[in-house]
């Protein structure tokens, strides 16, 4: 069976478009909240295949998305490299932050695959467990975004520490991002080896950078990852998501080698269709707050996204991850609107 999600990533335009949602497995689902209680903490949850397989399958059973995305977290990579990573209830991730070249010289890329073996087991199990029509997406955080957490020690900052360091010592910045690019490529290649049919790179902190920083810290490492992955798996599509890249989305699409670009909600679909032409497909970009609101806004805005991308191969998604307070009924309604749309 030809999977609709993969058809679009090869450049086919389908109506209605295939769909999935970033963070489609998560706290908005009551069954996920029950499942989460079976692990002592979030990182423990991520390393238990019997739990992560179930978490990945839950939204597919409920809503029938065209793709499932591996349940994991972008910070398993620094954890696997030997940096201390914790997830504190009510606070989010906390890392022992890096502050010098000597700090990241102590990272251990050689332990990556052993540490991430439970993730690979999850991918392999999912490849067998998913419905035949459902594609499996593997993923990782892009080097810049992972480095933000590794240096800042947490999310939700202005990224001043890492930007200042990389400006004072560009070689340190390049060294850390290259190390992360190579580790990330190896991680994604192994996910594909285990059954992932497409991969997505999440660069959630791309929008804080100026144009020159964006090229050095986002485009260059992403190009390196895509090159390494394509050398091993030339036919596996890569989706890039440099969130809040603004006018630089088009350059990112041209210069990185990705097959598709996922767009945040600030992007006007008509502008993306006209300017981001170097990729086979576009993905996005309903505002996740609209999904929370539901009602008339959800009906209107969903159709505007569908209409806006109708002339390009398009995968329907959100502009960022689904929010924990999202009502399940609103996701059910979103699924119905997409499936009933005649573009």
Q: What is the pLDDT of residue 157?
A: 80
Q: Percentage of residues in the chain with pLDDT exceeding 90?
A: 95
Residue 125 a catalytic site member: no
**Rounded mean pLDDT, 130-149:** 98
- Catalytic pick among 4, 23, 48, 190: 23
Q: Per-residue pLDDT tens for 237-291? A: 999 999 999 999 999 999 999 999 999 999 999 999 999 999 999 999 999 999 9
Q: What is the pLDDT of residue 212?
A: 97
**Rounded mean pLDDT, 24-39:** 97
Report the greatest alpha carbon distance in the chain: 57
Please check the confidence at residue 223 and state whether its pLDDT lies above 80. yes
pLDDT bin (cut points 50, 70, 90) of residue 1 is low
Are the CB atoms for 79 and 96 separated by under 8 Å? Answer: no
Where are the extended beta strands (E) located within the chain? Answer: 67-69, 85-88, 92-95, 135-141, 198-203, 238-242, 260-262, 281-286, 314-318
Q: Please, what is the average pLDDT of the chain?
A: 96
Residue 47 a catalytic site member: no
pLDDT bin (cut points 50, 70, 90) of residue 91 is confident
CATH of 4-340, one of 1.20.1730.10, 3.30.559.10, 3.20.20.210, 1.20.1440.230: 3.20.20.210
Q: What is the pTM of this model?
A: 0.97
**β pairing state of 92-95 and 238-242:** unpaired
Residue 232 a catalytic site member: no
In which order are the strands placed within the sheet that holds 135-141?
Answer: 67-69, 135-141, 198-203, 238-242, 260-262, 281-286, 314-318
- Catalytic pick among 36, 223, 289, 333: 36
Token couple for 53: 């397989």
**Rounded mean pLDDT, 178-192:** 98
Residue 73 a catalytic site member: yes
Q: Per-residue pLDDT tens for 151-174? A: 999 887 889 999 999 999 999 999
Q: What is the pLDDT of residue 92?
A: 84
- Catalytic pick among 28, 32, 47, 149: 149
Residue 23 a catalytic site member: yes
Question: 316 has which bridge partners?
Answer: 19, 284
Please check the confidence at residue 343 and state whether its pLDDT lies above 90. no
């Amino acid at each position: 069976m030809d999977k609709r999600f993969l058809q679009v990533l090869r450049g086919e335009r389908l109506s209605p478009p295939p769909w999935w949602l970033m963070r489609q497995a998560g706290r908005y689902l009551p069954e996920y909240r029950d499942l989460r209680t079976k692990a002592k903490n979030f990182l423990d949850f991520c390393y238990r295949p019997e739990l992560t397989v179930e978490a990945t399958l839950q939204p597919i059973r409920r809503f029938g998305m065209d793709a499932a995305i591996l349940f994991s977290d972008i910070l398993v990579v620094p954890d696997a490299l030997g940096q201390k990573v914790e997830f504190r209830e009510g606070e989010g991730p906390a890392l022992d932050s890096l502050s010098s070249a000597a700090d990241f010289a102590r990272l251990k890329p050689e332990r990556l695959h052993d540490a991430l073996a439970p993730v690979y087991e999850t991918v392999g199990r999912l490849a067998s467990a998913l419905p035949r029509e459902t594609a499996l997406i593997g993923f990782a955080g892009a080097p810049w975004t992972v480095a933000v957490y590794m240096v800042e020690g947490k999310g939700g900052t202005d990224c001043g520490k890492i930007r200042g360091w990389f400006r004072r010592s560009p070689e340190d910045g390049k060294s850390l991002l290259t190390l992360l690019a190579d580790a990330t490529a190896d991680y994604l290649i192994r996910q594909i080896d285990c059954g992932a049919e497409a991969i997505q790179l999440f660069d959630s902190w791309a929008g804080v950078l100026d144009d020159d920083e964006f090229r050095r810290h986002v485009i260059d490492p992403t190009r390196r990852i895509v090159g390494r992955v394509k050398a091993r798996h030339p036919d596996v599509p890569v989706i890039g998501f440099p969130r809040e890249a603004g006018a630089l989305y088009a350059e990112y699409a041209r210069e990185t080698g990705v097959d598709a670009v996922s767009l945040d909600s600030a992007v006007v679909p008509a502008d993306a269709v006209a300017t981001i032409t170097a990729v086979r497909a576009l993905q996005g970009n309903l505002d996740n707050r609209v999904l929370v609101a539901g009602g008339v806004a959800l009906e209107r805005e969903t159709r505007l996204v569908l209409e806006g991308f109708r002339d390009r191969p398009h995968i329907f998604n959100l502009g960022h991850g689904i929010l924990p307070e999202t009502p399940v009924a609103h996701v059910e309604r979103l699924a119905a609107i997409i499936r009933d749309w005649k573009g």
